[in-house]
Amino acid sequence: MLLYASDGIGRLAKQREKAGSAGKNSGKSRKDRLDIHTGSMLKLNIPLVCKCTDNISERENAMARNKHPEETVNLILDVSFRLFMEKGYEHTSIQDIIDNLGGLSKGAIYHHFKSKEDILEAVTNRMTEESNRLLAVIRDRTDLNGKEKLAMMFRNSLLRPEQNKIFQVAPNIRNSPGLVFSMLHDTVDVVTPDYMLPVFLQGVADGSVKTDYPEELAELIMLLANIWLNPMTFDDSPEKSYRKTMAFCQMMRGLGLDIVDEEIVKRMFELTVIYNKNK
C-alpha cells in the first residue's frame, strides 16, 4: 500500500545519517520524538512535482549559470530525477549527475547534498509535498466516517499515476538496514500519529471501526502497508507481492475494514511489475 510513501514516499529511502540520529533519540518520549521528526515518509500517494520537458537541456544549462542557491538545488534535483528515471537509481552515479549539470562542479553538489541518498531523499521529499496535503484534506473532512476516510486514503493514494514514477526510480533497500530502520521509525512516529490515528479514533467514535486498541491497530496496519507490502523492502516478485496483498486484504476484512478491493490489488501488482522491470 505504501502510505509512507514516504515519507513518505515519502521518501523511498532515508539517508543513513538520519537513521543514526534516530537512535540517539530512542530514549525520548513519543511526543518528544514526534517534535524532532516533523517530516513524513514517502506516502502511498506521490505526486510528480519535478517537470521534465523536451528542452530540459537548455533550461539546465541556463540555470547552471545562475548563482542563486535555490535554483542550483532545483537544477540538481531536476537532473537527478531525470537520470534516475532513465538509468535507475542504482545505476546513476554522482559523476553522471555532475556530467549533466551544464558546468556545475562536484563541489556545488556536495555543498547542498552529502550523498546520492541525500539527493534521492530531497527528490522524493519534493514529490510528497502534495501527497501530504491530500492525506490531510481527507483526514479533516467532515462528511465521511472513519472507515470511509481510510478507504479513500488507500484508494486515492495508491491509484495516483505518479506512483509509477516512484517505482521506476526506486532503489533496492533490502541490503540497507539504516534505510529500513528509518522507514520503520517514520511510519510509527510520523505517519501513524499525524494521519492514521486521528482517522481510527474517529472511526471508533462513530462506530465504523471496531477495536479496543486504535493506536496499536493503526500502527500495525501502517507497518504492514509501508514495510511488509513494499516490494522494495524484500525485493518481492509480482507473484509474491500479489499473495501478500491478498493476505492483507483478507486480514483487513477480518477486522471489518473491507477497504482493499480488486482494483487496489491489481494496482499493487502493476506497481511491483514496474519496480522489478527497472531495478
Are 81 and 46 spatial neighbours (Cβ–Cβ below 8 Å)? no
Give me the chain's average pLDDT, please.
78
**CB of 222 within 8 A of CB of 192?**
yes
User: What pLDDT does 50 receive?
Assistant: 35
Q: Are residues 5 and 43 in contact, defined by beta-carbon separation less than 8 angstroms?
A: yes
> The pTM is what?
0.67
SS3 13: coil
Q: How does DSSP classify residue 160?
A: -
The closest of 138, 146, 140 to 43, measured between CA atoms, is 138
Contact partners, residue 31, CB within 8 Å, separation at least 6: none
Taking the C-alpha atoms of residue 109 and residue 46, their distance in angstroms, rounded to an integer, is 25
Please, are residues 37 and 216 in contact by the beta-carbon 8 Å criterion? Answer: no
DSSP for 74-100?
Answer: HHHHHHHHHHHHHH-STT--HHHHHHT
d(CA 128, CA 144): 24
Helices (H), 93-175: 94-99, 106-112, 116-140, 146-158, 163-169
* Model pLDDT for residues 102-161, shown as the tens digit of each residue: 888 888 899 999 998 889 888 877 776 777 788 899 999 999 999 999 999 999 889 888
DSSP state of 163: H
The per-residue pLDDT for 87 is 83
Question: Which of 237 and 187 is assigned the larger pLDDT?
Answer: 237
Q: pLDDT at residue 269 above 70?
A: yes
Q: Which three cell numbers stand for residue 119?
A: 539527493
Question: Which residue matches cell numbers 517534535?
Answer: 35
Range among 17-21, 63-67, 247-251 with highest mean pLDDT value: 247-251
Three-state DSSP class for 65? coil
Q: What are phi and psi of 189, to 5 degrees?
A: -100, -10
Q: What is the mean pLDDT of residues 1-9?
A: 48
Write phi, then psi, for 258 (nearest 5 degrees): -80, 70
CA distances from 257 to 201, 221, 250 (A): 14, 11, 10
pLDDT tens figures, 188-207 = 988 899 999 999 999 999 99
For the chain, give the percent of residues with pLDDT over 90. Answer: 45
Mean pLDDT across 77-106: 89
Q: Is the pLDDT of residue 57 over 80?
A: no
CA angle 93, 97, 98 (to 5 degrees): 110
Kindly tell me if the per-residue pLDDT of 60 is higher than 60: no
- Any idea which of 91-100, 127-136, 221-230 has the lowest mean pLDDT? 127-136
pLDDT at 133: 84
**Is pLDDT above 80 for 72?**
yes
Are the C-beta atoms of 222 and 196 separated by less than 8 Å?
yes
